[in-house]
């Protein structure tokens, strides 16, 4: 899709969080009302007829558009968070990301077998955090799971899509 307004407003931060990483800062898209509207509406058009019952946002940038999209779709919103942030019983998964190791958790009562789930996060790089979230969600045996990112990095050596099965439906709004 590569909407010009989104591309124009996306900030690049060199050497963050460590030297050599070119961080794509989506906060500039969130603070701009038109960019936020564009993202939610473009995603709504993609998913409006998929029967989504739950949108799972990955901490923390996945919460912003994920919650807005859940509202627009008439779906529930589920948070996938770092350890110790969710107050009730959780399931967890540990994964490697491009600059370290991390763990995410989801409430054990967050999803049912009757749900159609959309997993949402801001950025696909190596795919580690989303793959961990995907595996957690699949443990609930939902009817269907879709995956979405605002940005997909297509830089040689990252290939985040490769960690998912070929039949996993993944969409992105911006490819860089």
72-91 pLDDT, tens digit per residue, is 999 999 999 999 999 999 99
Which one from 61, 81, 105, 152 is the annotated catalytic residue? 61
Residue 67: inside a domain, yes or no?
Answer: yes
What percentage of residues in the chain have a pLDDT greater than 90? 82
Residue 130: inside a domain, yes or no?
Answer: yes
Pairing verdict, β 116-124 and 90-97? unpaired
pTM: 0.94
pLDDT at 29: 97
Residue 141: inside a domain, yes or no?
Answer: yes
Q: At 113, which CATH number?
A: 3.40.50.2020
Residue 24: inside a domain, yes or no?
Answer: no
Which one from 42, 72, 91, 98 is the annotated catalytic residue? 98
Give which of 81, 95, 170, 172 is closest to 126, Cα–Cα: 95
Residue 12: inside a domain, yes or no?
Answer: no
With tokens 């860089």, the residue in question is 176
Residue 32: inside a domain, yes or no?
Answer: no
| Count of domains for the chain | 1
* pLDDT, averaged across the chain: 94
Q: What is the pLDDT of residues 137-158, one digit of tens each?
A: 999 999 999 999 999 998 877 8
Residue 26: inside a domain, yes or no?
Answer: no
168: left (phi over 0), alpha (psi -120 to 50) or beta: beta
Active site residue 169: no
Q: Look at residue 147 and give its three-state secondary structure.
A: strand
Active site residue 37: no
Residue 148: inside a domain, yes or no?
Answer: yes
Task: Name the residue range of residue 106's domain.
Answer: 50-171
């Amino acid at each position: 899709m590569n909407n010009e307004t989104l591309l124009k407003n996306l900030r690049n931060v060199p050497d963050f969080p460590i030297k050599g990483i070119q961080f794509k800062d989506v906060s500039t898209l969130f603070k701009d009302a038109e960019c936020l509207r564009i993202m939610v509406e473009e995603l709504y058009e993609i998913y409006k007829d998929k029967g989504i019952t739950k949108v799972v946002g990955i901490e923390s940038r996945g919460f912003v558009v994920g919650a807005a999209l859940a509202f627009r779709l008439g779906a529930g919103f589920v948070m996938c968070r770092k350890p110790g942030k969710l107050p009730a019983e959780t399931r967890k998964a540990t994964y490697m990301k491009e600059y370290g190791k991390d763990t995410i958790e989801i409430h054990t009562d967050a999803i049912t077998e009757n749900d159609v789930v959309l997993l949402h996060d801001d950025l696909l790089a190596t795919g580690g955090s989303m793959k961990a979230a995907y595996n957690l969600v699949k443990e609930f045996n939902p009817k269907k799971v879709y995956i979405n990112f605002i940005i997909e990095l297509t830089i040689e050596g990252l290939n985040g899509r490769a960690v998912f099965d070929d039949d996993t439906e993944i969409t992105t709004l911006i490819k860089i």
